[in-house]
Structure 1
Amino acid sequence: MNILLHPTYFPNIAHFVAIANAEKVMFEVDDNFLKQTYRNRTYIYGANGKLALNIPVVHTQKNRQKYRDVKIFNEENWQSNHWKSLLSAYSTSPFFEFYEDELQPLFKIKADYILDYNLKCFEVIFDCLQLDLKTSKTEVYEKNVENISDYRYLVQAKKEQIQPFDSYTQVFSDKHGFIPNLSILDLLFNEGPNALNYLENQTLTPQ
């Protein structure tokens, strides 16, 4: 199966369920940037429950701005803050130290464009999952596509569907219960090398 989806910031489980069950992945890079999506947001499990990590972006006066042209607002010390949040949330998880050395550099490199940064995050997560997949990028935006499964709807953070994913043990699940469909980082830190097997055994509810 070939799939089309948006490269988002440390994508949620739904994105990676689609990816883990695909043969080829095409990234949508020719769309317009929209607010309230996972393009610059991910959710982790903090001590007080679901916690959003947002990448600040530079907004222009244009009504429409291409995703590929959106710059990160690096005047804010967001990378350091995000890493501190991950340390606070997952330092006691079973596999945090296992992936720490691969992931920490992502919070030190400086990227000008959010699309480029997200794609770099994908590369590292693919390595962590030991996922060897062929990827490509769109060359033009098409609203309707053929001969490919369109998972671009997963980018919506506000209209998110509840997916029937199996539960797994999370760091603070004794406090707040199981929180589904968080960032792939939550699954990695809690399930480690079993993460890919978990993803392959989940199914997505169609839109």
Structure 2
Amino acid sequence: MSKVLLHPTYFPSITNFAVMVQKNILWEAEDNFQKQTYRNRCYICTDQGKHMLNIPIKHVGGKEGRQKYKDVVIDHSENWQKQHWRTLETAYRTSPFFEYFEDDLKPLFETNATNLFQFNLKTIATIGDCLGINLSQDFTEKYILDPNESVDARILVNAKKDNQVMTPEYTQVFGERHGFIPNLSVLDLLFNEGPSTLDYLKNVRLDFLDA
């Protein structure tokens, strides 16, 4: 079975995580960082509706404007981790399973991670632990524009492309207020569905992969 080439992202979207659960993953580790992608953001639902959590990064200027994703450094000049955790608490405290997973997730927001790529892998591994599964430790060794030996799903790092996949409805905390919001961060699914999360992810249709 061909491996699926994917970017590690910040608390990945449901579609991204469904790919991780259903396929053998090869992590793209040699590409350049691009702004306004899931590399340093995820989406949740608050009482105000769909809400973005964004990790600030230290931008490289001048001739060094381009940098490898794996070299991107997180900017801690503002306490974004405290802000993100407070937002998650406010949004999901009343969800069925927030307290069940709280102790697993909170430590991620209490240590000053420096490397974005490694921190994202840590968020993915933590969700994997919550679901009782091990996730891929395989990484690319060079950047290939058109890979022949793997299925290229790197486009999913682009939030607009990712939202073309329809994820089945489940009960959300603010569903009565905002209606169902598809394909949020896997955190939304985890806090609302708890032990059913893994079965849900196994049943998301991934026809777009043709794999």
Contact 2:166–2:183 (Cα < 8 Å) also in 1:
no
Point out the more displaced range, 160-169 or 58-67.
160-169
Shift of 1:135: 2.6
TM-superposition CA deviations, 1:47-98 (whole Å, max 9, x none): 0100000000000112311101111001110000000000000000000011
What are the ranges of 5 or more consecutive residues in structure 2 without an aligned counterpart? Answer: none
Deviation above 6 Å: which 4+ runs of structure 1? Answer: none
Percent of pairs with identical residues: 51
Shift of 1:205: 4.5
- Which residue pairs with 2:34 in the alignment? 34
Q: Please give the secondary structure, in 1, of the residue aligned with 2:138.
A: strand
Contact 1:44–1:52 (Cα < 8 Å) also in 2:
yes
What is the TM-score of this pair, normalised by structure 1?
0.95
Q: In structure 1, give the amino acid aligned to 2:90.
A: S
State how many pairs are aligned: 206
Q: Please give the secondary structure, in 1, of the residue aligned with 2:45.
A: strand
For 1:155-166, what aligned pairs fall within 5 Å after superposition?
155-166=157-168
What are the ranges of 5 or more consecutive residues in structure 1 without an aligned counterpart? Answer: none
RMSD: 1.3
- Which residue pairs with 1:6 in the alignment? 7
- Which residue pairs with 2:58 in the alignment? 58
Shift of 1:171: 0.2
Instruction: Give the structure with the higher percent helix.
Output: 2
- Which residue pairs with 1:76 in the alignment? 78
TM-superposition CA deviations, 1:159-189 (whole Å, max 9, x none): 4442222100000000000000000000000
Distance between the aligned counterparts of 1:80 and 1:157, measured in 2?
24
- Which residue pairs with 1:169 in the alignment? 171
Q: In structure 2, give the amino acid aligned to 1:43.
A: Y
Shift of 1:38: 0.3
Distance between the aligned counterparts of 2:71 and 2:169, measured in 1?
38
What is the TM-score of this pair, normalised by structure 2?
0.94
- Which residue pairs with 1:188 in the alignment? 190
Distance between the aligned counterparts of 2:182 and 2:189, measured in 1?
10
User: Does residue 1:49 correspond to 2:13, yes or no?
Assistant: no
